Amino acid sequence: MGPLDLLSEALIDILKEFSATKRFLSPAALKEALVARQELFSLLSPTLGSSTNGESDGASVPVARPAPLSQAKSENSKQSYLEPLHDLKTLLLRILDSLGPLVMGNYEKRFSELHQKTNECESLPSLILIGGQITRMLRELMYESTERINISNNFLIELSRDLHKMEEQLFSYQNYSEESHQISIKFNDSLLEHTNDVNITVDALISVQDIHTIITSMLNVISTAIKDKNNTDEVRHREANLKISELQDNLRTYKEEILQVKERTESLEKEIMLDDLTQINNRRAYDLHIHEYLRRYHRDGKHFSLILIDIDHFKRINDNYGHKIGDSCLKEIAQLIKSSIRQSDFLARYGGEELVVILEGSNASNAENVAEKIRKCIEKTRFHFQDVSVSLTVSLGVTEVTHSDTEPDIPFIRVDEAMYRAKRDGRNKVCVVTDLSFCKQRR
């Protein structure tokens, strides 16, 4: 088992222990738990100590002792320190990358700062402290996600209850209509029965006076039945109108609630898919769209290309002028790129100072022309903020989709490689990679 695997497994076990025992997870507690694990001695300490006489005592537990100064300066000691540092940094960056699609809102800036701190950290204790900060952010993200899920569940429960009530009303109205229909049938049958009785009586009688008496009697019965039926129908008609009015009010209320839910859903979707700083699409939106673009390419042959854009020496802007000016530069660059591409093209902030463009229907050559247009536009622009004037350049990588791209990560690896080649070749360049053995540049 390699150092990274060992460290990953130990970190997962420690987090499980903290969760099971409900202990508060702080950077100090995490550091103590890591140091306490025997299998991590070789990773967290330059050397392992031995007994004072140089011989092992069978009853004693090995204790890590500080290495002598001369030994600490040796190449082996330096290597034993850098190896766990590199492995832990790789692990933390991997964790941050996996958290990327979950990060939104106020967490995006915090996430970006932690990613930058982790990348630049050269001290194992400091890296462990950063791990604690990442753990706290993860805990807060999980709490907020749980809250959102609870709100959604409560709303669904209420909506289900309301729909059930409306269903009962519909069944009630259906039963009411059925009852009215049955009453009408009985009334018609009764009238037919009285009419038949009149016919039979008339056939049996000879006297006109008897016939007159019987018909008058029967007509009185029918007239009374009709009046009773009209009175009953009037009552039932009023009841039906009340039920229909109540049902209409409920339907109106449900319609308003559904519109409110739709508005909340659209607002939440916008919040989830939009980068707070630049007001363009975020990493989560990119992940969803690239899957859809790739699916349509393999299904319908709809070609597309990628452009990955990274601002050159952006850290210097933040260090020299402050993050506020750096954020303003990033926002203005996002708008410059947006104005340089078609409305149908997709632009997102991939993370930090990296932006990505998806050009539907474009091959690598066309995408290279668009990338060159973006590069020149930013190169010619002066970014003014109060009394500060800043000039910036960008490095751009370009690739196009191929039949071997079965997963979104595959074309992104190429475009990422192209962007880094542009960086290595002096920055402020466009580099095209259609496979990992080909690179073409333009200035």
Tokens of 239: 């009841």
Q: How far apart are the first and last CA of the chain?
A: 47
Distance separating alpha carbons of residues 276 and 104, to the nearest angstrom: 8
Q: Are 427 and 393 in contact (CB under 8 A)?
A: yes
Catalytic residue positions?
Answer: 353
DSSP string, 188-233: HHHHHHHHHHHHHHHHH---HHHHHHHHHHHHHHHHHHHHHHHHHH
Q: Are 303 and 361 in contact (CB under 8 A)?
A: yes
Distance separating alpha carbons of residues 201 and 214, to the nearest angstrom: 8
Give the containing element (helix H, strand E) for 252. Answer: helix 208-273
Task: Look at residues 382, 400, 391, 386 and name the one whose alpha carbon lies nearest to residue 428.
Answer: 391
Distance separating alpha carbons of residues 128 and 28, to the nearest angstrom: 9
User: What are residue 360's DSSP bridge partners?
Assistant: 304
Task: Look at residues 403, 388, 404, 373 and name the one whose alpha carbon lies nearest to residue 309.
Answer: 373
φ/ψ of 61, rounded to 5, equals -100, 135
Residues 6+ apart with CB under 8 A from 280: 274, 334, 338, 347, 348, 349, 355
DSSP strand pairing (304-311 vs 354-360): antiparallel
Task: Look at residues 146, 195, 7, 170 and name the one whose alpha carbon lies nearest to residue 87.
Answer: 7
**Residue 186: CB atoms within 10 Å:** 11
3-state secondary structure of 353: coil
Distance separating alpha carbons of residues 373 and 390, to the nearest angstrom: 20
Q: Are 40 and 7 in contact (CB under 8 A)?
A: yes
Distance separating alpha carbons of residues 114 and 134, to the nearest angstrom: 7
